[in-house]
Amino acid sequence: MTPSLPTINMTGKMAQRTDLYSVLMSYANKNNSPYIKIDPFLAFLEKYAKRISEDQIEWLKWTKDVRVKFWSELSNLAEEGKCELLHDTDEGRIYMPQFYVDFLKQQYLNIDENADTPFPSEESLQIEIPDSQKTYLGVESDMQSFLTNPPENTAPIISLGFPEGFGSALVLAEAIPQRLAEAGILKIRNYLRTHSNREYAYHKLSPQLAGKERYLRDMLNQILTRPLDCYASIENGSDFSYLFWAHFAILVKGDIRKKKDRLSEEIAAIQAVCILEGISAYYKALAVAKREKEMALKDLELHLEKPPYLFNLDQIIKFTSTKGVLLLSQYSKEDLQNWLKKQTTESKNDSLPELLIVHDRGKSCFVSKNKLLHLCARLLAESRDKVKTAVLKRWVRLIKSYRKENSMEEDREFDKLLEQYIEKYSPVFSSLLKDPKLLLVYEEMEQSGQNIPIAGKIFSKGELLPYSAILLLKRKELLDDARIVLPFWYSFPLLTAIIAFLIKLFNKKKMKKNAAKTMESEDNKDDLLGGEDNSQDSVNAAQEIELAMVPLGFTLDSYLEDLASRWSRILNMQARKNLVEDVNSLIRDNLRKTLRVQKQYKITRENLSQLAISIVSHTPSLQSLNPKEALLTYIELYLVKLLENQQFFSNS
């Protein structure tokens, strides 16, 4: 039976819309065809417009120059893809792509009424849809992949092919999967009703679904009484729903295949179970992937609570499961980013998020809130020995040169020194100690009764403990340790004070003598650094910079040699030695020039760094040496070495 295509009353809706597209669609519907012959249409349009414009003046525009207006607007519609101009006849035809789309929508409006017939197809509807407007899918071979990864620019109409000659079906792409599945469930209900085989299906399926008989009976009852509710269980991807449709499809296919003469509702049933089997498998795969993703994210959460507690994104991407499977294979990068965003922004009961962001050398790192104090304890343990060794090295050097500083005598200054070394050896720990979030986490854990690691107890009454208390370092003990490694006379304050006074006095006399000798040849050479007394201060400043720049395990000279080996990559030893000496000579000349020009030149790390950059930028031969970082550091340290030598000031 040829279906009745939808029609539109030409005196109703068409009269209300006068744009060319609406007129074309109304004309196509009136003639039950998407193909429109141009000349008959223009004749109709002109005649119809003249008649109706008496009552509706908006139609007057189609009463004059109809053909000109028609071709002008038609070209725009063709460019927009709303129609196609065909040249398969002498007079030409227009094809309206939306015609079959609207037609198929009508077919699926009342799916319950057509439950006893197979799905609509080109054969049953006696239509032929152009290949450009449809996409062919095999129900068993292509359905799941189509649902998983819908191709771009999919045709609006899908032609489903069923196996073993069970026909085909037309459906709108937008109706897949829900509307298509609901139509299939209604056909299954009709099949069970007309064949009265609910109990038969129950007894046949019970062995395959042993232990789930109650769920089986409920499912069969639901199909018969509330069929559309069945889609929810399919969409949820529940284990039982998937097993039911898989086994039920086998049962229906097996029973119908045995028959030579198949009824219309039997063809409809076998088409329906093929569709439902594919859609159920798709949602089952989604549910499995979702569970795997949830488990993988749970593993990710557990990883973040393990040492070293602090992880950047590059490290998180490489996390694996207990079986060695890369977690990123079970969730996408987008899933990971969304999870990290959620964990670092969402909070409960006005508390901090479960995941906190910490910056380490310019990179954003993540630490679990519950493990932040454990991270502090670990960083404290790692940095304590480094800080202690650095302070001891510093004080040994000062004592050995019969000097002292405020940090040796005052606890407050001692804490400032410790703070500087923590910032040098553990920037992350230093930034954490200054981060207000650390106190909030501490108070949250304290109030909730969670165990705080002993090394993590760094607050008292809402205030951060002194750095000496955090690091468990005592100023007097460190000072005693520094004196122990030196000869015994350094332990006698009176003796060291006398020696220090004599050295200072000797240096003053020596500088006065040198200044007197050079007074006539150069003006105020003895005042290059602001006077005699300040020259020793400059030497002290240079020594402070050396302590800050030279890594543990190196002396100034050994570190200079190491840096020189990086930027002077010449195989010939003599040529390499000459290059280093040329660079040293250049540095000495620039420093002398700077000291002559800037009488009050202040010795600071920043000033030396700027001078090093200036030397390189104004010397083309140095710009070819790499790496630049090693060269600049070498120049800074060589400047420090020169400035530590008081004789250099005299010779300058």
355-374 pLDDT, tens digit each: 999 888 778 899 999 999 99
Domain co-membership, 122 together with 213: yes
Listed residue (649, 416, 444) closest to 537, CA to CA:
649
Domain co-membership, 137 together with 47: no
Decide if 475 is inside a domain: yes
- Contact residues for 13 (Cβ-Cβ < 8 A; gap 6+): 26
Whether the full predicted model's pTM is greater than 0.85, yes or no, is no
Average pLDDT over every residue of 540-569: 82
* Structure tokens belonging to residue 445: 């854990």
Tell me the pLDDT band of 528, cut-offs 50, 70 and 90: very low
157-161/134-138 β-pairing: parallel
Domain co-membership, 364 together with 475: yes
**Angle at CA 652, nearest 5°, toward 529 and 623?**
95
Question: Which domain-ending residue is among 49, 73, 96?
Answer: 96
Q: Give the CATH number, domain containing residue 20.
A: 1.10.10
Decide if 507 is inside a domain: no
Domain co-membership, 136 together with 159: yes
Domain co-membership, 309 together with 374: yes
Average pLDDT over every residue of 423-434: 91
- The total number of structural domains that make up the chain: 4
130-189 pLDDT, tens digit each: 998 999 999 999 988 899 988 888 899 999 999 988 999 999 999 999 999 999 999 999
Listed residue (368, 362, 374) closest to 428, CA to CA:
362
* Structure tokens belonging to residue 619: 């010397």
Domain co-membership, 270 together with 377: no
Decide if 295 is inside a domain: no
Listed residue (339, 340, 321) closest to 330, CA to CA:
321
Domain co-membership, 410 together with 529: no
Question: Which domain-ending residue is among 458, 491, 524?
Answer: 491
Query: Is residue 601 scored above 80 in pLDDT?
Result: no
Domain co-membership, 475 together with 554: no
Instruction: Determine the distance from the C-alpha atom of residue 590 to the mean position of all C-alpha atoms in its chain, rounded to a whole number.
Output: 49
Residue 471: give the domain boundaries: 305-491
- Give first-to-last CA distance, the chain, whole Å: 113
Domain co-membership, 266 together with 122: yes
453-482 pLDDT, tens digit each: 888 899 998 899 999 999 999 999 998 888
Decide if 3 is inside a domain: no
